[in-house]
Structure 1
Amino acid sequence: MQAPLKFDIYKQHCPGRLFFERLADKWVLLILYVLMHQPLHFNLLKKNIEGISPKVLSQKLKMLERDGFISRHVQAGSPIRVEYQLTALGRDVSQTAYQLKDWSETNIKQVLAAQQYYDAQHN
Protein backbone atom coordinates (compact mmCIF):
# COMPACT_ATOMS: atom_id res chain seq x y z
CA MET A 1 0.00 0.00 0.00
CA GLN A 2 1.37 3.39 -1.00
CA ALA A 3 1.62 6.18 1.53
CA PRO A 4 -0.56 9.18 0.68
CA LEU A 5 1.21 11.96 -1.17
CA LYS A 6 2.32 14.81 1.02
CA PHE A 7 2.55 18.30 -0.35
CA ASP A 8 4.45 21.24 1.05
CA ILE A 9 3.64 24.54 -0.65
CA TYR A 10 6.82 26.07 0.70
CA LYS A 11 8.80 23.76 -1.55
CA GLN A 12 9.59 25.20 -4.98
CA HIS A 13 8.23 22.32 -7.05
CA CYS A 14 5.13 21.51 -5.01
CA PRO A 15 2.09 21.22 -7.31
CA GLY A 16 0.00 22.72 -4.52
CA ARG A 17 1.41 26.10 -5.51
CA LEU A 18 -0.78 25.89 -8.59
CA PHE A 19 -3.77 26.60 -6.37
CA PHE A 20 -2.22 29.84 -5.14
CA GLU A 21 -1.26 30.89 -8.64
CA ARG A 22 -4.83 30.34 -9.80
CA LEU A 23 -6.55 31.93 -6.84
CA ALA A 24 -4.27 34.97 -6.85
CA ASP A 25 -5.70 36.00 -10.24
CA LYS A 26 -8.37 38.72 -10.00
CA TRP A 27 -10.27 37.39 -13.02
CA VAL A 28 -10.38 33.87 -11.61
CA LEU A 29 -11.79 35.12 -8.31
CA LEU A 30 -14.44 37.16 -10.09
CA ILE A 31 -15.44 34.30 -12.40
CA LEU A 32 -15.74 31.90 -9.47
CA TYR A 33 -17.81 34.39 -7.52
CA VAL A 34 -20.19 35.13 -10.40
CA LEU A 35 -20.69 31.44 -11.15
CA MET A 36 -21.33 30.78 -7.46
CA HIS A 37 -24.83 32.19 -7.93
CA GLN A 38 -25.85 30.37 -11.11
CA PRO A 39 -24.55 28.82 -14.33
CA LEU A 40 -24.03 31.43 -17.05
CA HIS A 41 -23.34 31.72 -20.75
CA PHE A 42 -20.12 33.34 -21.96
CA ASN A 43 -21.73 36.69 -22.84
CA LEU A 44 -23.50 36.95 -19.49
CA LEU A 45 -20.22 36.22 -17.71
CA LYS A 46 -18.54 38.96 -19.72
CA LYS A 47 -21.40 41.36 -18.95
CA ASN A 48 -21.21 40.61 -15.21
CA ILE A 49 -17.43 41.08 -14.99
CA GLU A 50 -16.71 44.61 -16.19
CA GLY A 51 -13.34 45.13 -17.85
CA ILE A 52 -12.55 41.55 -18.81
CA SER A 53 -11.80 41.05 -22.49
CA PRO A 54 -13.35 38.14 -24.42
CA LYS A 55 -9.86 36.71 -24.97
CA VAL A 56 -8.94 36.76 -21.26
CA LEU A 57 -12.34 35.39 -20.25
CA SER A 58 -11.95 32.53 -22.71
CA GLN A 59 -8.43 31.76 -21.43
CA LYS A 60 -9.51 31.81 -17.79
CA LEU A 61 -12.55 29.62 -18.45
CA LYS A 62 -10.40 27.02 -20.21
CA MET A 63 -7.92 27.08 -17.33
CA LEU A 64 -10.68 26.70 -14.73
CA GLU A 65 -12.23 23.84 -16.70
CA ARG A 66 -8.86 22.09 -16.98
CA ASP A 67 -8.28 22.47 -13.23
CA GLY A 68 -11.69 20.97 -12.48
CA PHE A 69 -13.30 24.09 -11.03
CA ILE A 70 -15.94 24.58 -13.74
CA SER A 71 -17.73 22.49 -16.32
CA ARG A 72 -18.74 23.54 -19.80
CA HIS A 73 -22.04 22.47 -21.34
CA VAL A 74 -22.83 22.99 -25.02
CA GLN A 75 -26.52 23.59 -25.67
CA ALA A 76 -27.76 22.65 -29.11
CA GLY A 77 -29.62 25.25 -31.07
CA SER A 78 -29.02 28.08 -33.40
CA PRO A 79 -26.75 29.64 -32.40
CA ILE A 80 -25.07 27.03 -30.23
CA ARG A 81 -24.78 28.29 -26.66
CA VAL A 82 -22.19 27.31 -24.10
CA GLU A 83 -22.99 27.46 -20.41
CA TYR A 84 -20.45 27.36 -17.60
CA GLN A 85 -21.11 26.17 -14.07
CA LEU A 86 -19.12 25.35 -10.98
CA THR A 87 -18.21 21.76 -10.21
CA ALA A 88 -18.26 20.49 -6.63
CA LEU A 89 -14.59 21.45 -6.37
CA GLY A 90 -15.40 24.88 -7.84
CA ARG A 91 -18.26 25.42 -5.38
CA ASP A 92 -15.90 24.59 -2.54
CA VAL A 93 -13.19 27.03 -3.66
CA SER A 94 -15.75 29.71 -4.54
CA GLN A 95 -16.55 29.95 -0.83
CA THR A 96 -12.98 31.13 -0.34
CA ALA A 97 -13.37 33.53 -3.26
CA TYR A 98 -16.51 34.93 -1.65
CA GLN A 99 -14.75 35.43 1.68
CA LEU A 100 -11.97 37.36 -0.08
CA LYS A 101 -14.54 39.46 -1.95
CA ASP A 102 -16.43 40.20 1.25
CA TRP A 103 -13.23 41.02 3.14
CA SER A 104 -12.00 43.37 0.41
CA GLU A 105 -15.30 45.26 0.21
CA THR A 106 -15.38 45.60 4.00
CA ASN A 107 -11.75 46.62 4.51
CA ILE A 108 -10.72 48.52 1.38
CA LYS A 109 -11.10 51.90 3.13
CA GLN A 110 -8.47 50.88 5.69
CA VAL A 111 -6.13 49.67 2.95
CA LEU A 112 -6.52 52.92 1.01
CA ALA A 113 -5.93 54.97 4.17
CA ALA A 114 -2.78 52.97 4.95
CA GLN A 115 -1.51 53.55 1.40
CA GLN A 116 -2.13 57.29 1.67
CA TYR A 117 -0.37 57.42 5.03
CA TYR A 118 2.59 55.46 3.71
CA ASP A 119 2.87 57.61 0.58
CA ALA A 120 2.75 60.79 2.66
CA GLN A 121 5.55 59.50 4.90
CA HIS A 122 7.76 58.32 2.03
CA ASN A 123 7.47 61.10 -0.53
Structure 2
Amino acid sequence: MASFEEPTFAAACATRPILDQLANKWSVMILSVLCERPQRFNVVRRRLEGITQKALTQALRRLERNGLVRRRVIADSPVAVEYSITSLGRSLQQSFQAVYQWAMDHCAELEKAQRDFDSRHLGETIDHEDEAG
Protein backbone atom coordinates (compact mmCIF):
# COMPACT_ATOMS: atom_id res chain seq x y z
CA MET A 1 0.00 0.00 0.00
CA ALA A 2 1.30 3.47 -0.86
CA SER A 3 2.40 5.74 1.93
CA PHE A 4 1.46 9.40 2.02
CA GLU A 5 5.08 10.37 1.41
CA GLU A 6 5.20 8.62 -1.95
CA PRO A 7 4.55 10.68 -5.12
CA THR A 8 1.41 8.61 -5.78
CA PHE A 9 -0.64 11.40 -4.23
CA ALA A 10 1.00 14.20 -6.25
CA ALA A 11 -1.45 16.37 -8.21
CA ALA A 12 0.20 15.42 -11.52
CA CYS A 13 0.17 11.68 -10.80
CA ALA A 14 -1.44 9.69 -13.62
CA THR A 15 -3.37 7.53 -11.14
CA ARG A 16 -5.52 10.38 -9.85
CA PRO A 17 -7.93 10.61 -12.80
CA ILE A 18 -8.08 6.82 -13.01
CA LEU A 19 -8.92 6.50 -9.31
CA ASP A 20 -11.52 9.24 -9.70
CA GLN A 21 -13.17 7.29 -12.52
CA LEU A 22 -12.99 3.94 -10.74
CA ALA A 23 -14.27 5.31 -7.46
CA ASN A 24 -17.38 6.57 -9.24
CA LYS A 25 -20.36 4.63 -7.90
CA TRP A 26 -21.68 3.88 -11.37
CA SER A 27 -18.35 2.50 -12.58
CA VAL A 28 -18.18 0.04 -9.72
CA MET A 29 -21.77 -1.09 -10.26
CA ILE A 30 -21.39 -1.36 -14.05
CA LEU A 31 -18.27 -3.48 -13.73
CA SER A 32 -20.03 -5.67 -11.18
CA VAL A 33 -22.95 -6.23 -13.57
CA LEU A 34 -20.62 -7.00 -16.47
CA CYS A 35 -18.60 -9.49 -14.39
CA GLU A 36 -21.62 -11.81 -14.59
CA ARG A 37 -21.74 -11.89 -18.41
CA PRO A 38 -21.83 -9.51 -21.39
CA GLN A 39 -24.92 -7.31 -21.31
CA ARG A 40 -26.77 -5.03 -23.68
CA PHE A 41 -27.00 -1.35 -22.80
CA ASN A 42 -30.66 -1.44 -21.76
CA VAL A 43 -30.14 -4.52 -19.57
CA VAL A 44 -27.36 -2.70 -17.69
CA ARG A 45 -29.60 0.35 -17.40
CA ARG A 46 -32.48 -1.67 -15.94
CA ARG A 47 -30.14 -3.36 -13.43
CA LEU A 48 -28.84 -0.03 -12.13
CA GLU A 49 -31.84 1.66 -10.58
CA GLY A 50 -31.55 5.43 -10.75
CA ILE A 51 -28.92 5.74 -13.48
CA THR A 52 -29.81 8.00 -16.38
CA GLN A 53 -29.11 7.09 -19.98
CA LYS A 54 -26.60 9.94 -20.14
CA ALA A 55 -24.76 8.86 -16.96
CA LEU A 56 -24.61 5.25 -18.16
CA THR A 57 -23.31 6.28 -21.58
CA GLN A 58 -20.63 8.49 -20.04
CA ALA A 59 -19.53 5.86 -17.54
CA LEU A 60 -19.36 3.13 -20.19
CA ARG A 61 -17.26 5.39 -22.45
CA ARG A 62 -14.82 6.12 -19.59
CA LEU A 63 -14.56 2.42 -18.77
CA GLU A 64 -14.04 1.56 -22.44
CA ARG A 65 -11.40 4.29 -22.81
CA ASN A 66 -9.53 2.86 -19.80
CA GLY A 67 -9.61 -0.64 -21.27
CA LEU A 68 -11.92 -2.08 -18.62
CA VAL A 69 -14.96 -2.62 -20.86
CA ARG A 70 -15.33 -3.72 -24.47
CA ARG A 71 -18.15 -2.40 -26.66
CA ARG A 72 -19.56 -4.55 -29.49
CA VAL A 73 -22.19 -3.48 -31.99
CA ILE A 74 -24.65 -6.25 -32.84
CA ALA A 75 -25.93 -5.73 -36.37
CA ASP A 76 -29.34 -7.27 -35.72
CA SER A 77 -32.52 -5.42 -36.47
CA PRO A 78 -32.72 -3.22 -34.51
CA VAL A 79 -29.03 -2.62 -33.98
CA ALA A 80 -27.94 -3.27 -30.39
CA VAL A 81 -24.80 -2.65 -28.39
CA GLU A 82 -23.35 -5.18 -25.97
CA TYR A 83 -20.77 -4.48 -23.30
CA SER A 84 -18.41 -6.98 -21.73
CA ILE A 85 -15.70 -6.72 -19.15
CA THR A 86 -12.11 -7.09 -20.32
CA SER A 87 -9.47 -9.13 -18.54
CA LEU A 88 -8.08 -5.87 -17.16
CA GLY A 89 -11.53 -4.96 -15.83
CA ARG A 90 -11.99 -8.45 -14.41
CA SER A 91 -8.74 -8.03 -12.47
CA LEU A 92 -10.67 -5.51 -10.31
CA GLN A 93 -13.42 -8.00 -9.46
CA GLN A 94 -11.91 -9.23 -6.18
CA SER A 95 -11.28 -5.67 -5.03
CA PHE A 96 -14.85 -4.60 -5.79
CA GLN A 97 -16.25 -7.68 -4.07
CA ALA A 98 -14.13 -6.95 -1.00
CA VAL A 99 -15.35 -3.32 -0.83
CA TYR A 100 -18.95 -4.41 -1.36
CA GLN A 101 -18.66 -7.05 1.36
CA TRP A 102 -17.09 -4.51 3.72
CA ALA A 103 -19.98 -2.11 3.06
CA MET A 104 -22.51 -4.88 3.73
CA ASP A 105 -20.72 -5.95 6.91
CA HIS A 106 -20.55 -2.38 8.25
CA CYS A 107 -23.76 -0.91 6.82
CA ALA A 108 -25.46 -0.55 10.20
CA GLU A 109 -22.38 1.12 11.70
CA LEU A 110 -22.12 3.53 8.78
CA GLU A 111 -25.81 4.42 8.98
CA LYS A 112 -25.51 5.02 12.74
CA ALA A 113 -22.45 7.24 12.24
CA GLN A 114 -24.36 9.23 9.61
CA ARG A 115 -27.39 9.64 11.87
CA ASP A 116 -25.16 10.70 14.78
CA PHE A 117 -23.33 13.21 12.62
CA ASP A 118 -26.57 14.58 11.15
CA SER A 119 -28.13 15.00 14.60
CA ARG A 120 -25.05 16.88 15.86
CA HIS A 121 -24.95 19.12 12.81
CA LEU A 122 -28.67 19.64 12.24
CA GLY A 123 -29.16 22.87 10.35
CA GLU A 124 -25.48 23.38 9.58
CA THR A 125 -24.27 23.71 6.03
CA ILE A 126 -21.03 21.90 5.41
CA ASP A 127 -18.71 23.90 3.21
CA HIS A 128 -16.34 21.37 1.69
CA GLU A 129 -14.20 24.12 0.18
CA ASP A 130 -13.39 25.45 3.65
CA GLU A 131 -12.55 21.94 4.84
CA ALA A 132 -10.23 21.35 1.87
CA GLY A 133 -8.23 24.52 2.51
TM-score bracket relative to the smaller structure: 0.7 to 0.9
1:56-95 correspondence runs (5 A): 56-95=55-94
Aligned-residue CA RMSD in angstroms? 1.6
Question: How far apart are 1:121 and its partner, in Å?
Answer: 4.1
**Cα distance in structure 2, aligned partners of 1:119 and 1:59:** 32
Structure 1 unmatched ranges of 5 or more: 1-6
Secondary structure of the 1:111 match is: helix
| AA at the equivalent of 1:24 | A
Question: How far apart are 1:70 and its partner, in Å?
Answer: 0.4
Q: How many residue pairs were aligned?
A: 117
CA contact (8 A) 1:8 1:16 kept: no
**What is the TM-score normalised by the length of structure 2?**
0.81
% identical equivalent positions: 36
Question: How far apart are 1:97 and its partner, in Å?
Answer: 1.8
**What is the TM-score normalised by the length of structure 1?**
0.87
1:114 is matched with which residue? 113
CA contact (8 A) 1:70 1:90 kept: yes
Structure 2 unmatched ranges of 5 or more: 1-5, 123-133
Question: How far apart are 1:115 and its partner, in Å?
Answer: 2.0
Secondary structure of the 2:9 match is: coil
Question: How far apart are 1:92 and its partner, in Å?
Answer: 0.7
Secondary structure of the 1:9 match is: helix
